[in-house]
Chain A
Amino acid sequence: MTGTGARPGDRLLRGVHRTLTGLHPAVESVLAAILGLLVGAVLMYIWGYDPWRAYWALLKGAFGGDYEIASSIARGVPLILTGLTFSICLRAGMFNIGAEGQMYVGAAASICVAYFSLPHPWHLVVGILFAAAAGVLWSLGPALLKLTRGVSEVISTIMFNWISRFLVFYLVAYVLVDPRQAQRTVRIPLSARFPILVPGTDLSAAVYLAVGFALFVYVLLWHTAVGYEVRAAGLNPTAARYGGISIKRTMVLSFALGGVAAGLAGAATTMGLPPTYAIISGLPELMNLGFDGMAVAMVGRNHPIGILFAALFFGGLNAGGRVMQFYGANPVPLEMVRVVMGAIVLAMAIPELARVLPAVAGAARGLVRTLSPKARKEAA
């Protein structure tokens, strides 16, 4: 049994393992996306939907024409920003899941521009700054808790998400509420809206902001000493400290930068997403954008450029999913799109899974061996 020659199954397993672990991260992400779509197809089939028609509808809805492409990009814009929030902090060695809450307060802060007037570009700029500042302020809570009290950022950001959620519920219902339309806040005035890029679609100039910020993060992380410090602290905090890098500073910096990104995601949704230009009670336009951003960050391999593509893909799923649920005689509910998203995120863990496959196989063999003493004796 000590293997005079390899079992064929072993060789296959090892081949699969080597192939999967040797893949370029981008290829891994694409494979995960395909696998996620396959899982979705199987589920649709089991539930009696026609996966091919559904995906066809989804594809057409996402990228079938100028209008569809524009709205896919528009759906991806906030995801780029919330994805960056997660990635920046992960690069700094922290697991920040506070994008959701930081985005809410950013959105609420941007609404404040409705209470004063300024000429066009400046009104917009002030709104963006408000949102960014609110996002930073909200991110500093967990950052300072970690810094001074050692509170795990995972716990504190989750709790800050809830605080933020109900705070913004309150603000929407009682403070920023439009007296004539009680189900939503006052609207962002024309002078503070992102210009629409493709008339008749949702795509506004907010996309420039998101893409610009992603490029900024890329340059910052890989081409400046500040970003170098952030990455060093994330990969090996002890060596970073030895190298004269202040871990506290990189921590606060990456949290604050993440807060800016999340705040901007809020602004992009309130000031750059027609037709509402307000926060609706219950936050339907905002809900989950922060969490979806984490999925985007994972598929984008926590690289700003990867995030751009991943956000486009997820934006397409969102936009296409809306079409899918009205398509044909037996339309597929929008929830199926979320199943696909979940499956993709799970599939992202497969290379890791492949790494443990040989161990699993070994354990299985050991099990067989243990259970059959005869086989064991023979082998000996």
Chain B
Amino acid sequence: MGMGAEGGAKPGPDGYFLRAERITKVYSDGTVAVRDVTLELRPGEIVGLLGENGAGKTTLTKVLSGLLPPTRGRVVSPRGPVRFASPREALDFGIGMVHQHFALVGTFTAVENVALSHERPLTPLKLDATRAKLEALMAESGLKVPLDVPVEKLAVGEQQRVEILKVLSQDVDLLILDEPTSVLTPLEVDELFKLLRRLRDEGKAIVLITHKLREVGAITDRVVVLRKGAVVGDVSTAAVTREELAQLMVGKAVGTRAERAVELSTDEIPAHGSHGHSERGPGVLHVEGLSVAGTTKPIAVHDLTFDVYGGEIFGIAGVEGNGQTELVEALTGLRPALKGTATIHGKNILGLDPRQIYKLGVAHIPEDRWVLGLVLPFTLAENAILGVHRWDQFRGPLSVLRWGKINAHVRALMERFEIQATGPNAPAKSLSGGNQQKLIVGRELAKDPAIVIASQPTRGLDVGAAQYIRDTLVEMRDRGRAILLVSADLDEVLALSDRVAIMYEGRFMAVARPEELDREKIGMLMGGVGVKG
């Protein structure tokens, strides 16, 4: 270990640590994920890698960290070209990556997980040495985690800290973080940024993959913008505005889209709330006294009563894990309710299976598109009929699927929802996250539902795709449909909703129009502090 530290790879003050030279990566299915990218990483600098989903950010960093071999081009260090056969070798060289999905053994403690990462074949686990090292690291970096609790019992933010400690304990010189803030609370983000600044000042090179413009401004020294696999901008953060970055990232010269991006660049989602749109339709969803058990908690949703009307977006904000998931699952037939009633247009939906609920006009955009929303090995076409596969337009006599009609339907969806894929027979897992989500949204909206239950509909999506999906929801609202929007993204809920409910521990702390709530008040409500009078 510690190869990189004294291995001579460390350059002088003006030198670089690692340089990617004209890297091109073509996947075996012909997708060009990274196109002729040259990139220099220097010690003591935080580089933001900005781009839409599918822009090639993750692929590029995987090439840098040895997970993927480049198709063309090379990675050089001041000592000469380097080529890593495995992440292990990259780590030995001083390159560590913290992935979006953590690589931790859930039943192991932090010490055990870190010791495991140092393990070589046939050497005993050095638990005591690891503990000493971790304690030193924690004291030095200010990153605190419980060392003796199985990591699956830790909060996501803590798990991420274990991941970071794990990488830091390998004495890395280059730290790559893939969307590290997507799972963190604002406070945890602040702490992470403090840590990253300290690491930078210690002389480490840091790459931060993100699509949040606010973060780029807050933490990075330099921004590299990727679009469709190519570098379209490599600038000092101080010398660029958010508007310019957004335009670079989205890149579409078409007026509306660029304007949207610019609006977004201030991290403001254009408000679509009830301003000037006040004709609320008839009640669609009526929920009364609904209680639902959670997976781990005996009661996750506590005696909720609310209505969602046609022509409105009813947003539910709150820190994740306060019963939103259980509420949505109960309303969509995936989880039994303990008590209470829920009706769509006066017809009971509790106790029905999902298909019966869909028949009553419910569309469901689930929060986890990989687990719930898609059958990843299935093709686009097969996924596009999930849940509607028994509809007459797709199913002929003897239950035979009409593939011709299904494929035509998929092509129409691809066109209308701008889904980038080679065709209806492309496997869903080959699509980027944004395109997968567009596929789900397209499928659900094609049901022409009375109510859309959208759970975290834009999570992990780039600006363009997220905005597209928000626009689509607003359009559905304007056509008189009811929308129940559950999102951890407060900006999104506030911008889109006609009414907002703040959920805390299974209850609504408040239901109000977004303009009646200021952020401070919302913050307190989300934290469970009731605001009186």
Shortest CB distance A328–B (Å)? 48
Contact of B84 among A2, A14, A223, A238 (CB under 8 A): A2
Given A2-B93, A243-B354, A243-B386, the answer on whether A224 and B399 have CB atoms closer than 8 Å is yes
In chain A, what residue has the closest Cβ to B123? A370
Q: Does B431 contact A (CB under 8 A)?
A: no
**A155 adjacent to chain B (CB < 8 Å):** no
B253 within 8 A of A: no
Assuming A223-B403, A240-B375, is B83 touching A4 (CB within 8 A)? yes
Decide if B304 is an interface residue (CB 8 Å cutoff).
no
Residue of A at shortest CB range from B91?
Answer: A2
Residues of A within 8 Å of B120, CB to CB, are: 366-367, 369-370
Q: What mask results when residues 371 to 389 of chain B are scored 1 for a CB within 8 Å of chain A, else 0?
A: 1111111100010011101
Q: Is the CB of A242 within 8 A of B366?
A: yes
Rounded to whole Å, the gap between the CB of A31 and the closest CB of chain B is 19
A-contact 0/1 string along B399-440, CB 8 Å cutoff? 111010000000000000000000000000000000000000
Partner of B353, one of A228, A246, A367, A369: A246
Residues 21-64 of B contacting A (Cβ, < 8 Å): 28
Residue of A nearest to B329 (CB): A242
Does A373 make an interface contact (CB < 8 A)?
Answer: no
In the bound complex, do residue B387 and residue A363 qualify as a contact, i.e. CB atoms below 8 Å apart? Answer: no
CB-CB nearest in chain B for A359: B86
A52 and B338 alpha carbons, distance in the complex (Å): 71
Interface string of A229-270 (1 = CB under 8 A from B): 101100110111111111000000000000000000000000
Chain B residue, CB-CB nearest to A369? B120
Kindly list chain A residues whose C-beta atoms are within 8 Å of the C-beta of B85.
Answer: 3, 6, 10, 14, 358, 362
**Which among B28, B83, B366, B377 is the interface contact of A3 at CB below 8 angstroms?**
B83
* Bound-complex Cα distance A353 to B414 (A): 38
Is B83's CB under 8 angstroms from A232's CB?
A: no
Report the bound CA distance from A228 to B399 in whole Å: 10
| B79 CB within 8 Å of chain A | yes
Cα–Cα distance between A364 and B120 once the two chains are bound (Å): 10
Q: Are B371 and A238 in contact (CB under 8 A)?
A: yes
CA distance A219 to B398 in the complex (A): 11
Query: Shortest Cβ distance from B426 into chain A, in angstroms?
Result: 16
* Residues of chain A contacted by B131 (CB below 8 angstroms): none
Instruction: Render B343-359 as a binary contact track against A, CB cut-off 8 A, 1 for contact.
Output: 00000000001111010
Contact A370 B375 (CB under 8 A): no
With a CB–CB cut-off of 8 A, which chain B residues contact A239? Answer: 371-375, 386
- B-contacting residues, A361-379, CB 8 Å: 362-364, 366-367, 369-370, 379
Chain A residues with CB under 8 A of B7: 2, 380
B93 contacts across to A, CB distance below 8 A: 2
> Secondary structure of the A side of the interface?
helix
Type the 1/0 row for A146-175, where 1 means its CB is closer than 8 Å to any CB of B. Answer: 000000000000000000000000000000
CA separation between A29 and B465, bound complex, in Å? 42
B198 within 8 A of A: no
Q: Choose among A2, A241, A370 the residue that contacts B121 (Cβ–Cβ < 8 A).
A: A370
In the complex, A226 has a CB within 8 A of chain B: yes
Residue of B nearest to A6 (CB): B83
What B residues does A232 contact at CB under 8 A? 375, 378, 382, 386
The residue that B82 contacts in the complex, of A2, A224, A228, A243, with Cβ under 8 A, is A2
B121: chain A residues within 8 A (beta carbon): 363-364, 366-367, 370
Q: A5-B83, A6-B85, A242-B366 are in contact. Are A223 and B400 (CB under 8 A)?
A: yes
Q: Does B92 contact A (CB under 8 A)?
A: yes
A48 within 8 A of B: no
Least distance between B405 CB and chain A CB atoms (Å) = 13
B371 touching A380, Cβ below 8 Å: no
- Whether A242 pairs with B372 at a CB distance below 8 angstroms is yes
B170 to A: closest C-beta gap in Å = 13
Q: Which of A10, A223, A243, A362 is close to B88, meaning CB atoms less than 8 Å apart?
A: A362
Contact in complex: B123, A242 (CB < 8 Å): no
List of A residues within 8 angstroms of B371 by Cβ: 236, 238-239
* B81 beta carbon closer than 8 Å to chain A: yes
* Nearest neighbor of A367 in chain B, beta-carbon distance: B121
Contact B86 A358 (CB under 8 A): yes
Cα of A224 to Cα of B121 in the assembled complex, Å: 50
A284 part of interface (Cβ distance < 8 Å): no
Q: A228 contacts B389, CB within 8 Å?
A: yes
Residues of A contacting B398 with CB < 8 Å?
Answer: 224
The CA of A245 and the CA of B375, in the complex, are separated in Å by 12
Report whether B354 and A244 are in contact in the complex, using a CB–CB cutoff of 8 Å: yes
User: What's the nearest-Cβ distance from chain B to residue A217, in Å?
Assistant: 14
B3 within 8 A of A: yes
Q: Is A225 an interface residue (CB 8 A)?
A: yes
Given known contacts A10-B85, A225-B395, A238-B371, is B389 in contact with A243 (CB within 8 Å)?
yes
- Whether B364 lies near A242 (C-beta < 8 A) is yes
Q: Among A3, A224, A231, A362, which residue has the most Cβ atoms of chain B within 10 A? A: A3
Interface residues of A (CB under 8 A from B): 1-6, 10, 14, 22, 219, 223-226, 228-229, 231-232, 235-236, 238-246, 358, 362-364, 366-367, 369-370, 379-380
Q: 4 tightest CB-CB pairs across the interface, nearest first?
A: A244-B355, A243-B386, A243-B387, A244-B354
